[in-house]
Structures are given as structure tokens and as C-alpha cells.
Homo-oligomer: A and B are copies of this chain.
Amino acid sequence: MKELNLVDPVDGIYYGAIEVKGHDIVKIKKLDEEKRGLSYLLPGFVDPHIHGAAGVDFIDATYEGLQKMEGFLRKEGVAACLLTTVSAPLEKILKAIDTLETYTQKNPHTIFKGVHLEGPYLNPNRRGAHELKYIRDVNIRELEEMVSHPLVRLMTVAPEIEGFEEILEITKKHDVVVSIGHTEASYELVEKIYNKGVRRFTHLCNGMKPLHHREVGPVGGALLNDAFVEIIVDGVHLCGEMVRIIRKLKGVEKLELITDSMAATGLGDGEYRIWGKTVHVRGRIARTEDGSLAGSTLTMRKAVSLYRSFTGADHLETARVSSYNACVDLGLKRAGRIKKGYSSLLVEVGPDFEYIKPFIDDSTG
């Protein structure tokens, strides 16, 4: 067993001994109060919004591509994530889901816990890097075909589009969480659908009408209601002060750090062909030719490090915003906690966040 400060979002921080075997935490023993100055063990990261990494893009990934992506993400401390589609033809979206299905059957312990459908029912005015030609009107049969797949857990939709009521109905039937995104929804609309149970926002502030003091729109709706919000903490999609404002308003129980990362993540600067577009990555910032941000090249490790530097968050808060909250929100099992029976994919963090690295139990080595 290995001894260090254990950070469980429910039980709090304590000095303890832990033993992992294979995919599981098999033993935990509380020894003492938190010992400052020693390492902290956090649940592995949970990222509900990732398009790709390591040269692989989920929307057209092969089996081998998924293997490669998983290898990269595990080294970044990710314990669970939702692979995210972009607006694309139906067959392309279904093919990606099928590939993942094959993959999960052969790799039951994969970190890929399901699919996040981002689009295609978005507001074209707030499409960001989504291709205009693939953003389309709601088609019930198509919708049903996508969300009825058991791997689909989350869908980002603009609630102001025609057919949103039907989306609500069908996603509910298939237990898919709806997230508000790529939208120009008014505050009133957000409040109305909040009361119908839609309580989640996709990359808050990005891909939506900005907050204005005469009409606070979707951002205001997210800030004033008790909804979960994804935030891209890379210092570009949101500046550090905006992260502090969001945190101050939302508290730490409703924030979910995400990467929104795409294939170029982990590859360095350069020119990439992604989602039918040329994307330039400079200084880790990915932009399409028209200057729009095209996802990110962020990793959860980097996001956590920046969140800490912007907010001064401690280890417990970090565990919440980087893993536990998303599990609560999306009903993900076996992740987000330091507890017997939970995933052995954990993250070791320095007392002052000097290092953030996947945990390796070398005590029995």
C-alpha cells in the first residue's frame, strides 16, 4: 500500500494508505489528518467534452486511432471522458459511434465512457468551428437514430431552434442529458427550460451570445440558475478573471473543467486539417481561417494547473471541478472518487501543484 494525502470529494482530505490492483482501488485505510507538504492523490480527470487528441479525431477515428488517443489521455491523467462529435452527416456520426461501440466491447475498461453529441441542431450564428452546411433543422427520425444508441449520454443543443420540444422528449426517453450550447437563447428561454429540467451549459461563454447588461442571455441564465457549466480553462477561451467571476457566482459544485480538445492536441503548433477546415495552431491556440477558435489543444492537466493559478483552488476543489462534478451531472460510475471499487486511474498532485501526474502504485513493485 502507498501512503499519501487522499482527496475524496465526498469524504474530504485525509492522510491514508491505498492499494490499487488492475482497474480498481482495492483497499483504503485512513491513517491521520491531512499532512501538508506531502503529495495528494486525486480521482483521475473526467472530461465530458473531448473531440480528439494525439492526431486522432473521434468523428473519423479508426479502432487504432481510438487506442492511440486513449494511450495519450491516460498519460494526461484522464480516467473517464465522453468522445464528442461535431455537426456532420448522420452516417458519419453513426459510424463514429459504431467504431466506439466495437472498441468498448473489446476494451471494457476503456476511459471512453460514451458519446457527447455536439450538434447538429445548433444556432448557425453561434456555430464556432462547426461547418455551416452540417447544421440543420431537427429531423425526428435522425434524432432518434442518434440518441437511441446506448453509448450516447449527452447532447448539446441550441434551445431556440424549432423542434426543441421534440428533442427534449426524445432525449428524455433515452436518458440523454441535454446541454445548452452554440446558442442565442434569451434569459427568459433559459429559465423556462431550466424549469423543465435542462440544467447544463456547454463551454460557457464560448459559442453563445455574450452576457450584456441589458439582456444577460444564456450566460446570465447559466450564472443565475443552479445549472452545471462546462468551462474551458485555457486562459484564451475564458480569461482568468472570467473564470473567477464564474466560480464566485456558481460555487464549486457546478463547474466542470473540460478541454474541448481536438486532434492537434499533443502535437505542437502547425497547420491541421480538421472538420473539413484548415486549422492553424499557434502558441497552442487553434483557430480556423476566419479567426474563430477551433476547439482547443488543452489537456486536463494544463486546465487544472491554470484553474489553480487563476483561483487559488485547493486540492479538494480541484477534485470536484476536474472529476466529481461531471460524474454527478452525467451519472458516470466508478470515477470521481477515491473509494474502494472505484477506478484505479488516479492523479498525483504536488502540495503546491508543482506536479500533476498519473498515479503509479509502486509500493509493491
Residue numbers in B under 8 Å from A237 (CB-CB): 213-214
Binds B, one of A133-141, A143-151, A203-211, A345-353: A203-211
- Asked whether any CB of chain B lies closer than 8 Å to the CB of A174, the reply is no
Bound complex: CA of A239 vs CA of B215, how far in Å? 6
Find out whether the CB atom of B212 lies under 8 angstroms from the CB atom of A241.
no
Minimal Cβ-Cβ distance residue in B for A216: B241
| Contact, CB under 8 Å: A213 / B187 | no
Q: Is A238 engaged at the interface, CB distance under 8 Å to the other chain? A: yes
Of all chain B residues, the one with the shortest Cβ separation from A223 is B245
Interface 1/0 per residue, A235-247 and B, CB below 8 Å: 0111101101100
Check: A273 CB closer than 8 A to any chain B CB: no
Q: Which residues from B are CB-within-8-Å of A249?
A: 245, 248-249
Q: Which residue of B lies closest to A235 (CB)?
A: B214
- Complex CA–CA separation, A224 to B241 (angstroms): 8
Q: How far does the alpha carbon of A236 sit from the alpha carbon of B215 in the complex, in Å?
A: 10
Q: Which residue of B has the minimal Cβ distance to A244? A: B224
| A124 lies within 8 A of chain B by Cβ | no
The answer to whether the Cβ of A65 comes within 8 Å of any Cβ in the partner chain is no
Distance of A51 Cα from B284 Cα, bound (Å): 51
Expressed in whole angstroms, the minimum distance between the Cβ of A202 and any Cβ of chain B is 14
Residues of B within 8 A of A224 (CB): 241, 244-245, 248
Is A220 an interface position by the 8 A CB rule? yes
The majority secondary structure among interface residues of chain A is: mixed
Chain A residues 110-125 with CB under 8 Å of chain B are: none
Q: Among A210, A213, A224, find the residue whose CB has the most chain B CB atoms closer than 10 A.
A: A213
**Contacts A244-B224, A245-B223, A245-B224 given: A239-B210 contact, CB under 8 Å?**
no
CA distance A215 to B245 in the complex (A): 12
Please give me the residue from chain B that is nearest to A231 by CB atom: B213
Contact bitstring A313-346, B, C-beta under 8 A = 1, else 0: 0000000000000000000000000000000000
Cβ contact of A245, chosen from B216, B241, B242, cutoff 8 A: B216
A191: min CB distance to chain B, Å: 9
**For residue A238, which residue of chain B has the nearest CB?**
B213
Contact bitstring A22-52, B, C-beta under 8 A = 1, else 0: 0000000000000000000000000000000
Which B residues lie within 8 Å of A213 (CB)? Answer: 205-206, 210-211, 219, 237-239, 242
Give Cα A248–Cα B187 distance, bound, in whole angstroms: 17
Among A211, A215, A244, A248, the one with the most B-chain Cβ atoms within 10 Å of its Cβ is A211
- Chain B residues near A215 (CB, 8 Å)? 239
* A46 to B: closest C-beta gap in Å: 23
Q: Could you tell me which A residues sit within 8 Å of B by CB distance?
A: 187, 205-206, 210-216, 219-220, 223-224, 236-239, 241-242, 244-245, 248-249
Contacts A/B (CB < 8 Å), 23 sampled: A187-B241, A210-B210, A210-B212, A210-B213, A211-B211, A213-B237, A213-B238, A213-B239, A213-B242, A214-B238, A214-B242, A216-B239, A216-B241, A216-B245, A220-B241, A220-B242, A220-B245, A223-B245, A224-B241, A224-B244, A224-B248, A245-B249, A248-B249
Given contact pairs A211-B245, A220-B245, enumerate 14 new A-B contacts (beta carbons under 8 Å). A187-B241, A205-B213, A210-B211, A210-B212, A210-B213, A211-B211, A213-B237, A223-B245, A224-B241, A224-B245, A224-B248, A245-B249, A248-B249, A249-B249
